[in-house]
Amino acid sequence: MPSPAKAQPDKYELVSELAKRRGFFWPSYEIYGGVSGFVTFGAYGAALKRRIEDKFRRFFLNPYGMIEIESSIITPAKVFEASGHLAHFKEPLVECLKCKRRFRADHLLQEQAKMTDTETEKLSLKELETTIKTKNIRCPECNSTTWGKPKHFLTMFQTTIGPYASAEATGYGRPEAAQGIFVEFKRLYEQTREKLPLGIAQIGHALRNEISPRQGLIRLREFTIMDVEFFFDPEEPCTWLKHMENETLRIIPAELKLKGKKEPITITTKDALTRGIVKTEWQAFFMALAKQFLIQLGVPEEKQRFIEKLPWEKAHYSLQSFDQEIFLDRWGWTEVSGLAYRADYDLKQHMQHSGADMQVYKEYPKPVTKEVLTIKPNMAKLGPVFKKDAAKIAEQLKNADANEVQTSLEKKGYYTLDAYKILPEHVEITKAKVEEKGKRFIPHVVEPSFGSDRLAYIALEYAYEQKKDRALLKLPRDVAPVQVGVFPLMNRDGLTERAMEIARKLTGEGFTVEYDDSGSIGRRYARMDEVGTPLCVTIDYTTLKDQTVTIRDRDSWKQVRTDVSELVKGLHEYFSYDKEFKDLGEPVKE
């Protein structure tokens, strides 16, 4: 019998091998046996990730005047009590009674019973227990089918702040950077001169104590989150929507998802809003922006989609949520960003728990006249009936909601105040016109949220190609970790010195440069192709004669020749997308 054909490695395997060998990323602490959920980014990976974060600033934040802050990862428990994380940031855990290993109960059902996450997220602990039994789920470690009762596990890292071990001193690693923004909202609003809309971003490490993380860069216990909390007045229109209204989105709305539909509808942001598929203009705007951002990182439109979260899938704070998903070779459709309409949930919670006023004041363009009802207690009638309580009742009536009192009197013929029955004759309700200059309200929030580690992986997978049996990363030029390779053709005759001089000059100009003089020129090009360096400059004998160098393109493997004096300007234009490779010099014949 012939041995089974060796399976082709998938892109995840190819990218991971390259990433480990060349220094993009790899599992951390392997010399100590490794700890799942943690990765280390090497020189190329850290640079790629940083460039993606910078691109996020340049593309997503700066053009829209959003600001960026930095708060701490360790956060006192009070914050997560208010935000609802302590109650909700949990996952169902189940223990194998034989080998004592613990697993995500829902993941076991997804893997062994082929249930979808939409199906499993709906299940209560009791239902999970029953389903594990009926589906005959086996322990992935020891194959046993005897399971403990599923229970909820808080997936935040817990610690103690300071030298006292008390509940007061409990802290958690933040699972999102959002709360660091919400708790400081009022101060940030004042510092930015009290204007809405106000976008506040944060890029930094976040921690989630996953029960059993796998999938490399896709599910980490420590990762870099890029959260935008965008505060706006829900009564005002989205000022930037006009730039995006004809942008198309591929969406699977909750309604279709419930019907088991897996194909997205393609629709403009404008139509998605008109048809009520997306509830808030600002959310539609950010969905379009998020789509464009991923396109710029190398993921074409047809490999992207937005999938609406069902009521039981949404985070506890969300009115409407979409996951932006992109297609990965091994993992299929994978979440790359979440777009949640958090409304006023978080600010309201912090307002209630801390007592700090999170409302903003908005002055109307011109004062608005409103009819206001006022209650005037009729003491002549109240006195005889309620005796010594009459004064207290009169006071309470003044503070009662006049609309409510009137409605009750009209509908039921009386109004109940504590234990007292108030009749129409006890009060006089008058109408008055009041001029309001503005309103106080809690801003609403839409939150687009990315992870830069995952984006780095996605950029790598989409950039990965094989050409003539070797790997090539066609990374977008503005996120490539090295911008320019600089090589002397030979290690003699002054070529090395001249090449080093040019490398130093380019470094001084702010380019990321790698100088390399070892091995054949072909091998040096190959090394640069493999880490995605868009351009390589070679210094040859002609350089010494006429001060020209060749520039070689990663994608076409073509070369042009240009004057050294033109090099800096040309590269600046190339990397800011003002010029294409072919315009950097005269073509070199092959």
Out of 12, 15, 16, 39, the residue judged to bind a copy of itself by CB under 8 A:
39
Of residues 12, 16, 18, 45, which one binds a copy of itself by CB under 8 A?
45
**Smaller CB separation from a copy of itself, 155 or 320:** 155
For a copy of itself, which residue of 15, 18, 49, 454 counts as binding (CB under 8 A)? 49
Site for a copy of itself in 83-102 (CB under 8 A): 93, 102
Regarding 75 and contact with a copy of itself (CB under 8 A), the answer is yes
Is the Cβ of residue 14 or residue 319 nearer to a copy of itself in the bound state?
Answer: 14
- Residue 262 phi/psi, 5° resolution? -115, -5
What does the H/E/C string look like for 169-228? HEEEECCCCHHHHHCCHHHHHHHCCCCCCEEEEEEEEEECCCCCCCCHHHCCCEEEEEEE
CA distance 4 to 85: 49
> In the complex, what is the shortest distance from the CB of residue 79 to a copy of itself, in angstroms, rounded to a whole number?
7
Select the span of 72-80, 116-124, 268-276, 402-410 touching a copy of itself (CB under 8 A).
72-80
Q: Which amino acid is at 72?
A: S
Site for a copy of itself in 527-586 (CB under 8 A): 576
* Region near a copy of itself per CB under 8 A, out of 60-68, 386-394, 462-470, 553-561: 60-68
- State yes or no: residue 352 binds a copy of itself (CB under 8 A): no
Residues of this chain, 200-239, that bind a copy of itself according to CB under 8 A: 204-205, 207, 209-212, 221-222
- Residue 101 or residue 381: which is nearer to a copy of itself going by CB? 101
- Judged by CB under 8 A, the stretch of 39-47, 125-133, 255-263, 382-390 that binds a copy of itself is 39-47
Can residue 146 be called a binding residue for a copy of itself (CB under 8 A)? no
DSSP per-residue codes, 227-242: EEEEEE-TTS--TTGG
Show the site string, 104-143: x = touches a copy of itself by CB under 8 A, - = not: ----------------------------------------
Element (H, E) at 537: strand 535-539
Which of 165, 289, 526, 455 is closest to 281 using CA atoms? 289
Q: Which is nearer to a copy of itself, 112 or 507 (CB)?
A: 507
Among positions 173-202, residues that touch a copy of itself (CB under 8 A) are: 173, 180, 183-184, 186-188, 191-193
Distance CA 113, CA 136 (A): 9
Residue of 15, 18, 52, 79 interacting with a copy of itself (CB under 8 A): 79
Choose the stretch contacting a copy of itself; rule: CB under 8 A; options: 153-161, 259-267, 302-310, 492-500. 153-161
Round to whole Å and give the CA distance between 152 and 111: 20
Minimum CB distance to a copy of itself, residue 86 (Å): 14
Residue 68 or 301: which CB sits closer to a copy of itself?
Answer: 68
Give the residue from 357, 577, 327, 565 showing the smallest Cα distance to 585. 565
What is the signed CA dihedral for 441, 446, 452, 454, rounded to 10 degrees? 140
What are the tokens at 132?
Answer: 């594990």
| Total chain residues near a copy of itself (CB under 8 A) | 79
For CA atoms 12, 292, 445, 58, the dihedral sign is positive
Greatest alpha-carbon pair distance for the chain in Å reads 115
* Near a copy of itself by CB under 8 A: residue from 2, 3, 114, 162: 162
Question: Do 478 and 575 touch, CB atoms closer than 8 A?
Answer: yes
Of 192 and 408, which CB lies nearer to a copy of itself in the complex structure? 192
Minimum CB–partner distance for residue 475 and a copy of itself (Å): 18
HSE, side-chain direction, 13 A CA sphere, residue 52: 29
Reduced to 3 states (helix: H, G, I; strand: E, B; else coil), residue 444 is: strand
Q: What is d(CA 323, CA 334) in angstroms, rounded to the nearest whole number?
A: 9
Q: Are strands 74-76 and 170-173 parallel, antiparallel or unpaired?
A: antiparallel
Of 13, 40, 367, 395, which one interacts with a copy of itself (CB under 8 A)? 40
Residue 68 phi/psi, 5° resolution?
A: -125, 135
Of 61-69, 293-301, 375-383, 467-475, which part binds a copy of itself (CB under 8 A)? 61-69
Q: Which is nearer to a copy of itself, 22 or 342 (CB)?
A: 22
Q: Does 38 bind a copy of itself (CB under 8 A)?
A: yes
Of 58 and 558, the one with the shorter C-beta distance to a copy of itself is: 58
Least distance to a copy of itself, CB of residue 158, Å: 6
Query: Nearest distance from residue 152's CB to a copy of itself, in Å?
Result: 11
User: x/- string (CB under 8 A) for a copy of itself, residues 472-511?
Assistant: --------------------------------x--x--x-
Q: How far is the CB of 170 from a copy of itself (least distance, A)?
A: 11
Q: Measured between alpha carbons, how far is 540 from 502 in angstroms, rounded to an integer?
A: 12
d(CA 483, CA 43): 14
Residue 137: DSSP 8-state: -
User: In one letter, which amino acid is 341?
Assistant: Y
Among 10, 59, 67, 373, binds a copy of itself (CB under 8 A): 67
DSSP class of residue 479 equals: T
- C-alpha separations of 217 from 28, 45, 153, 225, 474 in Å: 11, 12, 23, 13, 20
To the nearest whole angstrom, how small is the minimum distance from the Cβ of residue 125 to a copy of itself? 15
Q: Does 365 bind a copy of itself (CB under 8 A)?
A: no
